[in-house]
């Protein structure tokens, strides 16, 4: 049975309709959050490429929006990992995990690198801080086994043109795991939303697949 895992970055308002779709089909997911960037009210930026305003959720919305889903660490403030001193990186990682655990009252075991940047030193900080994996933005099929769980590559981004090809390849791998990720704000047109729902429905109704939790890949 293929285990399908997914994660979504940045804690933005488009996570709300995305989660509605996930709940509709019983899908599991991890959400990678930056506790220093969710303020008292929604704040964000204008994405020129997508021509849309992207808003981070207000801190008061987080518990209700993500109820029932797994929370993972994305640092406190989303810095570029290789452009700050290592001690600052350590503080971003350690404080991010602690703040998320305190807020959501659940273990925070996963991590996603902002901008996908990492090296051996930044990866070791993740391990020391208590994470069981750290996700990059590189592609690897099969995604498991992995030599270093702190530099864990997903199979692909959810908009990858070879998504279904990689999905089928993962079924043939010994690990039987397929992992995809993305940002919900990339669902910027009605067609993309429709295509995404069709994707989740297809996985949910595939008798050869089941939804799984990311941390469980490393803890069970």
- CA distance to 68, 87, 120, 121, 155, per residue, from 168 (Å): 28, 42, 32, 34, 11
* Half-sphere CA count of 216, side-chain side, radius 13 A: 13
Instruction: With H, G, I as helix, E, B as strand and everything else as coil, classify residue 77.
Output: coil
For the four alpha carbons of 24, 34, 92 and 179, in that order, the dihedral sign comes to positive
What pLDDT digit, counting tens, does each position of 28-85 carry? 999 999 999 999 999 999 999 999 999 999 999 999 999 999 999 999 999 999 999 9
Helix/strand/coil for 76: coil
Res. 119: pLDDT tops 90? yes
76's tokens: 């406190």
Per-residue pLDDT for 161 more than 90? yes
Domains along the chain with CATH numbers: 2-219 (3.20.20.370)
Whole-angstrom Cα distance, residue 37 to residue 35? 6
Note the pLDDT of residue 139. Answer: 96
CA dist 112 → 108, 174, 185, 202, 215 (Å): 12, 25, 17, 26, 12
What digits encode the pLDDT tens for the residues 70-89? Answer: 999 999 999 999 999 999 99
Tell me what the mean pLDDT of segment 124-146 comes to: 97
Instruction: Report the mean per-residue pLDDT for the chain.
Output: 98
Read off the pLDDT of residues 183-206 as tens digits, 9 standing for 90 and up: 999 999 999 999 999 999 999 999
pLDDT of residue 33: 98
User: Is the per-residue pLDDT at 92 higher than 90?
Assistant: yes
3-class state of residue 16 by DSSP? helix
The model's confidence at residue 220, banded by pLDDT at 50, 70 and 90, is confident
Q: What percent of the chain has pLDDT over 70?
A: 100
Band (pLDDT 50/70/90 cuts) for residue 179 is very high
In the chain, the percentage of residues whose pLDDT exceeds 90 is 100
43: alpha, beta or left? (left if phi > 0; alpha if psi -120 to 50): beta
């Amino acid at each position: 049975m293929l285990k399908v895992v997914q994660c979504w970055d940045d804690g933005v308002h488009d996570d709300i309709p995305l989660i509605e779709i996930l709940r509709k089909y019983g899908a599991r997911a991890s959400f990678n959050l930056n506790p220093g960037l969710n303020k008292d009210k929604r704040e964000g930026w204008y994405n020129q490429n997508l021509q849309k305003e992207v808003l981070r959720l207000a801190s008061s919305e987080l518990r209700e929006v993500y109820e029932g889903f797994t929370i993972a660490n994305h640092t406190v403030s989303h810095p570029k990992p290789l452009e700050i001193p290592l001690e600052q990186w350590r503080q971003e990682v350690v404080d991010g995990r602690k703040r998320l655990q305190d807020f959501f009252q659940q273990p925070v075991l996963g991590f996603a690198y902002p901008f996908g940047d990492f090296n051996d030193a930044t990866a070791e900080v993740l391990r020391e801080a208590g994470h069981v994996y750290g996700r990059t933005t590189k592609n690897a099929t099969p995604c498991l086994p992995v030599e270093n769980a702190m530099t864990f590559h997903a199979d692909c981004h959810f908009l990858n043109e070879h998504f279904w090809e990689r999905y089928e390849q993962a079924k043939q791998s010994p690990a039987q795991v397929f992992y995809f990720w993305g940002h919900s704000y990339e669902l910027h047109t009605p067609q993309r939303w429709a295509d995404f729902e069709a994707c989740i429905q297809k996985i949910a109704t595939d008798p050869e697949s089941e939804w799984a939790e990311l941390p469980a890949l490393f803890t069970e």
